[in-house]
């Protein structure tokens, strides 16, 4: 692994550097600053002229179910590899394939897929996100109700033995039988635990936070909402200052005004952009699947036949752009929510930002919001042709 120098761009880092440069050596960022500060030695490897484009840190999507015609519950290595390649064009450096509520056998198969995945190219598979099956039937949304079950430590132990530290994130409802015991078990092992698809009261949710829940899955969606006499999961998420909150910024799942409330309550540092994308990401309207259920995409919105929202067709680059276009945050803040915050919620140190010593995940994005190049640890995973 050699050197990479990307220069003559606007670097989004701790400060915004115009006519900036980033140098990566042996996979790590060795220099961030003005292009004039790049030495001849730093230019001894691959040199890329960004031509005035933005230089972003690589995005990390911690909640995605599929893309490009593939669903992760298929349990197929070729499908996962195809999604990894597909996501690179949207600036994604790493992602968590996310399950849906399914039978124990299908859940194991999805975990076996990730545990045995041989990375070839494209965005990095960071591990797995178990969304369910330990959720509340009343807030299941597009999750398959037939396989919702009580929290099962034996099942978790089997999956953890298979995955090890690749079991990164688990979404559950703390109020379901065994929920808090599962939170204890996961927290003891350093696994990020999230509240989602939950009808918990404010008090039950706060109890989950006290026991080790540090994350909220697609905030506002699939949970008990905010009422002034019953603050619910949403109220607890807004009140808890050190809990990360996902948001799907597609303009469909959550009104921009509600996102503004979330930002005012929690601050930019605690909000994580996710796509919750399904296999229709990057494809046209039509019929698709999500786990065991058919879903229907019309005008870019994915729903069950009954009308429930069923994930999204959003990509991470569009999510960042939407946050800026909605007038909610600056470009730097939007990028942070798609990269650094995601790394922090998973405990990935030295990743998710353009900072000296961090992993060299860089995305070159034109002023027209088109990804030109995408690098993971200084290795090119995507280049726009033409």
Q: Tens digit of pLDDT for each residue in 305-361?
A: 999 999 999 999 999 999 999 999 999 999 999 999 999 999 999 999 999 999 999
CA 303 from chain centre, in angstroms, equals 20
Q: How many CA atoms lie within 13 A of 272 on its CB side?
A: 29
| Mean pLDDT value of segment 287-314 | 95
CATH code of 80's domain: 3.20.20.140
User: Which of the four pLDDT bands, split at 50, 70 and 90, describes residue 89?
Assistant: very high
Report the catalytic residues: 276
Q: Do 233 and 335 fall into the same domain? A: yes
One domain for residues 251 and 138 = yes
Statement to judge: residues 222 and 77 lie in one domain: yes
| Same structural domain, 51 and 142 | no
Same domain, 106 and 177: yes
Question: Does residue 208 share a domain with residue 311?
Answer: yes
Percent of the chain scored above 90 by pLDDT? 97
Segment 3-19 mean pLDDT: 97
The CATH number linked to 26 is 2.30.40.10
> Do residues 30 and 141 share a domain?
no
Predicted local confidence at residue 367, as pLDDT: 96
149 phi and psi, to 5 degrees?
Answer: -150, 165
Range of the domain at 125: 59-346
Q: What is the pLDDT of residue 292?
A: 86
Are residues 141 and 22 located together in one domain of the fold?
no
The pLDDT of residue 1: 65
Percent of the chain with pLDDT over 70: 100
pLDDT tens digits along 102-132: 999 999 999 999 999 988 899 999 999 999 9
The answer on 302 and 230 residing in a single domain is yes
Both 169 and 198 in a single domain? yes
193 and 308 together in one domain? yes
**What whole-number distance in Å separates Cα of residue 72 and Cα of residue 83?**
9
Residue 339 phi, psi (nearest 5): -135, -75
- pLDDT, tens only, 154-177: 999 999 999 999 999 999 999 999
Query: Residues 52, 72: one domain?
Result: no
Quote the pLDDT of residue 119: 84
Q: How many domains does the chain have?
A: 2
pLDDT digits (tens, 9 = 90+) for 258-278: 999 999 999 999 999 999 999
């Amino acid at each position: 692994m050699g050197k990479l120098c990307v220069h003559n761009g606007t670097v989004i880092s701790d400060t915004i550097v115009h006519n900036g440069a980033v140098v990566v050596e042996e996979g790590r960022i060795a220099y961030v600053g003005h292009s004039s500060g790049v030495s001849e030695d730093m230019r001894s490897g691959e040199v890329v002229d960004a031509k005035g484009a933005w230089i972003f840190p690589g995005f990390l999507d911690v909640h995605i179910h599929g893309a490009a015609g593939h669903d992760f519950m298929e349990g197929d290595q070729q499908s996962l590899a195809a999604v990894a390649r597909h996501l690179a064009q949207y600036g994604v450096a790493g992602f968590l394939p996310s399950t849906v509520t399914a039978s124990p056998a299908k859940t194991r198969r999805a975990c076996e897929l990730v545990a045995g995945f041989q990375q070839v190219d494209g965005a990095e598979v960071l591990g797995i996100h178990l969304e369910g099956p330990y959720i509340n039937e009343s807030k299941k949304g597009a999750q398959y109700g037939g396989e919702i079950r009580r929290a099962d430590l034996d099942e978790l132990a089997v999956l953890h033995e298979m995955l090890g530290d690749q079991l990164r994130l688990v979404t559950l409802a703390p109020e379901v039988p065994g929920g808090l015991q599962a939170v204890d078990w996961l927290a003891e092992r350093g696994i990020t635990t999230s509240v989602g698809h939950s009808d918990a009261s404010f008090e039950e949710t706060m109890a989950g936070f006290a026991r080790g829940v540090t994350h909220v899955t697609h905030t506002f969606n699939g949970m008990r909402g905010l009422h002034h006499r019953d603050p619910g999961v949403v109220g607890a998420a807004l009140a808890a200052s050190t809990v990360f909150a996902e948001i799907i910024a597609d303009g469909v799942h959550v009104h921009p005004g509600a996102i503004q409330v979330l930002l005012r309550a929690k601050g930019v540092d605690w909000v994580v952009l996710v796509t919750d994308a399904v296999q229709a990401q990057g494809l046209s309207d039509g019929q698709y699947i999500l786990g065991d259920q058919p879903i229907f995409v019309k005008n870019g919105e994915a729903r069950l036949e009954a009308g429930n929202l069923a994930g999204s067709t959003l990509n991470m680059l569009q999510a960042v752009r939407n946050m800026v276009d909605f007038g909610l945050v600056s470009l730097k803040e939007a990028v942070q929510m798609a990269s650094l915050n995601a790394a922090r919620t998973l405990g990935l140190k030295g990743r998710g930002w353009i900072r000296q010593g961090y992993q060299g995940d860089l995305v070159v994005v034109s002023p027209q919001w088109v990804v030109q190049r995408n690098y993971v640890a200084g290795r090119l995973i995507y280049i726009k042709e033409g």
